[in-house]
Amino acid sequence: MLIDSEDGMTIREIAKALEDENYKSVAKTVKLVHGLYIDRWTVPKRGQYAAVYMCVEIPKDAPHPTERHIPQTIWSTA
């Protein structure tokens, strides 16, 4: 939904698109999702600023890790 949105979306717009009346749950979820950022702030009718969220675009040639990094310490014997 946010990937398809060129202009970004506020919490209320995201909740409306998801048909979720609980804006607080949407706000909490948006804060936990990686790859979202606040692009700008808008002023709604009541005068409170609203964050406009955008989705980070992943480049097509982004490298992917092939092996999992296992940290070594002086205490590990492996």
pLDDT score at 15: 92
For residues 36 and 17, give the distance between their C-alpha atoms in angstroms, rounded to a whole number. Answer: 17
**Helix (H, G, I), strand (E, B), or coil: what is residue 69?**
coil
Q: CA 8, CA 54: separation in Å to the nearest integer? A: 5
**Pairing relation of β-strands 50-55 and 36-42?**
antiparallel
What element of type H or E holds 17? helix 11-18
| Lowest pLDDT segment from 41-50, 51-60, 61-70 | 61-70
Six-digit token string for 60? 């097509």
Q: Is the pTM of this model over 0.75?
A: no
Residue with tokens 């002086």: 74
Predicted pLDDT at 78: 53
